Amino acid sequence: EIVLRQSPATLSLSPGERATLSCRASQSVSSYLAWYQQKPGQAPKLLIYNASKRATDIPARFSGSGSGTDFTLTISSLEPEDFAVYYCQVRSSWSWTFGQGTKVEIK
């Protein structure tokens, strides 16, 4: 079973700053990694799939990169609505795994 480790657990930044979130897999997952955003009291929302493809209507300030075991979600300039928890997720054979999440909070 693949394990996903996200870092840092919490990222304290100000609006306008750049956010860099990491997701590391315990074994290679090729490029089949997705990122989700979850705000309090809301369902998760797909941001990025296949490591670098933005989902429908996702702003260009969100970008994903990486392959193999190391992946990054970058938010180029934080907007007030971007403060949330972010999860990475991968499929391995016939199971699906989420990372433990990174909380992006207002500094």
Which residues here bind another protein, judged by CB under 8 A? 32, 34, 36, 38, 42-46, 49-50, 55-56, 87, 89-91, 94-101
| Closer to another protein by Cβ: residue 13 or 55 | 55
Contacts of 40 (CB under 8 A, 6+ apart): none
The owner of tokens 């979600």 is 73
Nearer to another protein, 19 or 48 (CB): 48
Cβ proximity to another protein, 76 vs 100, nearer residue: 100
- Three-state DSSP at 31 gives coil
